[in-house]
């Protein structure tokens, strides 16, 4: 993957008023997810009610930006033609430290991806917008998310 990801003609998100805070934060390089005031659980993707308890008191909070790689795939034949210039690239399931899992783009690391890798938020411009991508935490330095 040597292409400038920001020049890709990839499909962007279909944003609604409800999901707008997530994407506004993403544009600023932050990862914001909902937290349920009733049951205390974190919620991803954004919803009008908590899927765990159906409570309606959902608050947006900045996530820690830490996660664990639950699975990944190196994509050689993308499902959308806009991704062809970037192939092969890696997508993964990221279990956020707060609990929920999201699918994300995984930036190339210094060592091959492995399930169980600890990940850090790495905001990346892809297809003309900044997305909450992730990358491996470097083992030598105990990195802190910004």
Partner 1 sequence: MSRAKGSIVGIGELKPQRLTQGVTTLEMIAEVSRLAVLDAGLERAAIDGLLVGPQVGETPQHVPATIAEYLGLAPTMANVVDLGGASGAGMVWRAAAAIEAGMCEAVLCVLANNREETAPRSPNRNPIREFDVPFGASGANISYALLMQAHMAEYGSTARDFALIAAAARANAQLNPDAIFYGKPADAEAVLASPMIASPLHLLEIVMPVAGGEAVVVTSAERARSLGKPPVHLLGAGEKVTHRAVSQAPHLTSGPLKNAMARAFQQSGTRADEMDLLSLYDCYTIMVATTIEDAGLCAPGAFGAWLNEHDLSHKGDKPLNTHGGQLGFGQPDLAGGMTHVVEAVRQLRGEAGERQIGNAGLALVSGNGATMSEATALVLGAA
Contact residues toward partner 1 (CB under 8 A) are 10-16, 19, 45, 70-80, 83, 86, 88-89, 91-93, 101-105, 114-116, 126-127, 129, 131, 133
Q: Minimum CB separation from partner 1 for residue 124, in Å? A: 10
Q: Minimum CB separation from partner 1 for residue 45, in Å? A: 5
58 vs 131, which CB is nearer to partner 1?
131
Q: Minimum CB separation from partner 1 for residue 141, in Å? A: 26
10 vs 137, which CB is nearer to partner 1?
10
Encoded tokens for 141: 């330095």
42 vs 105, which CB is nearer to partner 1?
105
8 vs 137, which CB is nearer to partner 1?
8
**Planar angle of CA 129, 68, 33, nearest 5 degrees:** 50
Distance of CA 129 to the CA centre of its chain: 13
16 phi-psi bin (left φ>0, alpha ψ -120 to 50, beta other): beta
b/e code 41-57 from CB counts within 10 Å (16+ = b): bbbbebeeebeeeeeee
């Amino acid at each position: 993957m040597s292409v400038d990801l920001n020049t890709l003609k990839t499909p962007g998100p279909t944003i609604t008023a409800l999901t707008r805070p997530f994407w506004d934060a993403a544009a600023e390089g932050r990862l914001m997810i909902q937290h349920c005031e009733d049951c205390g659980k974190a919620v991803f993707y954004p919803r009008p009610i908590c899927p765990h308890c159906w409570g309606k008191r959902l608050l947006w909070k900045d996530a820690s930006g830490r996660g664990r790689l639950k699975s990944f795939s190196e994509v050689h034949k993308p499902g959308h033609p806009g991704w062809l210039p970037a192939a092969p690239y890696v997508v993964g399931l990221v279990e956020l430290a707060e609990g929920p899992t999201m699918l994300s783009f995984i930036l190339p690391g210094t060592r091959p991806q492995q399930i169980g890798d600890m990940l850090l938020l790495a905001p990346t411009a892809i297809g003309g917008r900044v997305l909450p991508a992730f990358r491996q935490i470097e083992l030598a330095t105990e990195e802190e998310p910004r």
